[in-house]
Amino acid sequence: MPPDLSRYLSDRTLIMLSNREPYEHRRVEGAGDGGVEVRQPPGGLVSALDPTMRATQGVWVAWGSGTADEQTADAEGRLRVPPDSREYTLRRVFLDDAEVDGYYLGFANSSLWPLCHLLVQHFVYRVEYWERYRQVNEKFARAVADEVTRAEKKPVVWIQDYHFGLTAEMVRSYCDPILIHQFWHIPFPPADILRLLPASVDDALLRGMLGNDLVEFHTERYALNFLGCVAEFIPDADIDADSLTVHYEGRQIQVASFPISIDVEHYERLATSSDSTALAKRLRKRYAAGACKLGLGVDRVDYTKGIPERLRALKQLWELHPEMRETFTFLLVATPSRSEIPAYRALEEDMVRLVLEINARFRTRHWTPIVLIHENVSAEMLAGVYRAADLCLVSSLQDGMNLVAKEFVACQVDEQGVLVLSRLTGAAEEIDGAVLINPFNIDGFVEGIRRAIDMSDGERRVRMHRMRKQLHERTIYDWLAAILSRTESIIANRTQETSTT
C-alpha cells in the first residue's frame, strides 16, 4: 500500500499540471462501453501521484491526448477519475495538430530537450515552435487559473516538467494560489548552452520559471546550472548561492534537488509474481545456463540513452574477446518513441542496422549475440527480464535521473546482477555500487562490461545488496513526501513572517 501523504495537503487543493494525463480514453473497435476504452498510461509518475490525488481530492490538468477524450469529458474538458471511483477531477486541455507539432514535437522536444541534454547537434529552433509553445503554455495556464478560482481549499499548483517553462509566471499573473512549484525532470543546461536560444527566448523561459516559489531538480548540479543561467541572463534577479535562493520581483524563489525514485515494493512484487518468476527462469535457461551470462538494455529509443554507443561497445567486446562469443548474449528491449521527429526515426534505423550488422558478424549456428525486442512491453514482462539479467547496461549520454537503473535494482531480488551505469546520469550521483562507465569512452565502456561479466558472485551480491538497501530508503514516496514537506514549510514560514510584520 502506498503511504498516506494527505497530511501534507489536509488544508489544500493540489492542482497538478502535466503534459501526460493520468487516464486516457481511446476509441477501440469492438471494445465494450460504446467502443471506448480507458487506460492509465504507463509511467511511474502517474501511478505514484494517483493515490495522493485520490486521498486529497485534487485536480489534475493535462493534455487530452486520447481519441475519445473529448466525448468522455464535459464541455470544459472536466471529468471525475478514476473511472470506477471518481475521486478527483481531471481537467483536459485539447490541442489541435498544429499546437502538438509546434509545442510538443517542436519547442519542447526538438529545442529544449536536446539543449537540456547538452546534445546540441540535435537542437532545432523555429520561431513557429516558440510561438506555439508560448500559446499552448498560456492555454494550460488559463485552465490551471480557472481551477485555482474554483478550488474549495487553499490551492497549491504543482507543475511537471519542461513542457511548461512559461506556465508558472502566467498562472501567477492570472490568479493567486498559495504556492506554485515545478519539478524539472530532465537536466538543466549551463548558461553557455542555454545561450543557443535566441536571447528573448532564454529570458522569457527563465522569467517563466521564476514565476514559481520553488523549482525542483533531480540533482544539485542541475539546480546550480539553473542559478548560473539566472545570474547570467536575468540582471534584475539576485542570487544567494549558499541558500540556493533567488530574490526576484519582491519574491523569494527557492531552488532545490529532490532525486526521483520508483515504487520499489511494487517492482519487487512484480518481479516475484509467478509470471515474472517463470519468465526469468525461461530466460536464464535459454541464455544464462552454466557459465553463460545475459546482458540487458531497456530504453525508450532516444538519442540521449546512448544506444548506438552501447551497441558499438558490445561489438568491440566480441571483437576483442572471442571467448565472450556464445557465452554472453545481450537482450535489448527498446520501445519506439517520438517517431514523428526525424532525429528519432534516424536513430531507430541506426539501431536496427547496427543490431543486424553485429548479429551478421558474430552469429554462430547456436547463438545470436543481440536479441532485439523492439516494442513497449508490459511491466510484468519488464520485471521478469530485469530479474533474469546478469548485467544491465545504462549508457545515457545525459539523463536527468534514469529510472531503468532503479527498476533493475528493485527487481534484482536474487541479488546476482551488476548495474553498469553511465556516470552522466542523475542516478550515478545517487547509487553507490554500480560499475560506472563513460559512454563517450568506448574502450573504458568495453572494460566496464567485461568487469561486470567477470565479477565474482560474492562481489555481485555485496554490491547489489547495498544498492537495494539504499533504494528501499529512497522510494518515490520519500521523494513525494520531501517535496510536499518543503512546500508546507515555505507556506508556514511565509505565514509566520506576515503575522510578525
Interaction site with ligand ADQ (CB under 6 A): 44, 185-186, 260, 298-300, 333-335, 376-377, 382, 399-404, 407
CA atoms of 454 and 464, how far apart (whole Å): 15
Q: Rounded to the nearest whole angstrom, what is the least distance from the CB of residue 376 to ligand ADQ in the complex?
A: 4
CA atoms of 123 and 114, how far apart (whole Å): 5
Task: Give 89 or 219: the residue with its C-beta nearer to ligand ADQ.
Answer: 219
Task: Give 202 or 399: the residue with its C-beta nearer to ligand ADQ.
Answer: 399
**Rg of the Cα atoms in the chain:** 23
CA distances from 389 to 225, 287, 345, 414 (A): 36, 9, 28, 10
Task: Give 57 or 273: the residue with its C-beta nearer to ligand ADQ.
Answer: 273
CA atoms of 97 and 261, how far apart (whole Å): 33
Q: Rounded to the nearest whole angstrom, what is the least distance from the CB of residue 44 to ligand ADQ in the complex?
A: 6
State the pairing for strand pair 154-160/24-27.
unpaired
Residues in the chain: 501
CA atoms of 55 and 458, how far apart (whole Å): 44
Q: Using the structure block, give the residue that is written with the C-alpha cell 540533482.
A: 219
Asked whether 189 and 118 are in contact (CB, 8 A), the reply is yes
Task: Give 110 or 402: the residue with its C-beta nearer to ligand ADQ.
Answer: 402
Q: Rounded to the nearest whole angstrom, what is the least distance from the CB of residue 381 to ligand ADQ in the complex?
A: 8
Q: Is 87 helix (H, G, I), strand (E, B) or coil?
A: coil
Q: Rounded to the nearest whole angstrom, what is the least distance from the CB of residue 45 to ligand ADQ in the complex?
A: 7
Under 8 Å CB-to-CB from 184, ≥6 apart: which residues? 161, 162, 209, 215, 216, 217, 222, 226, 400
Q: Rounded to the nearest whole angstrom, what is the least distance from the CB of residue 33 to ligand ADQ in the complex?
A: 26
Task: Give 352 or 377: the residue with its C-beta nearer to ligand ADQ.
Answer: 377
Task: Give 292 or 371: the residue with its C-beta nearer to ligand ADQ.
Answer: 371
Q: Rounded to the nearest whole angstrom, what is the least distance from the CB of residue 395 to ligand ADQ in the complex?
A: 12
Q: Rounded to the nearest whole angstrom, what is the least distance from the CB of residue 183 to ligand ADQ in the complex?
A: 8
Task: Give 404 or 418: the residue with its C-beta nearer to ligand ADQ.
Answer: 404
**Burial per residue of 102-116, b for 16 or more beta-carbon CB atoms within 10 angstroms, e otherwise:** bbbbbbbbbbbbbbb
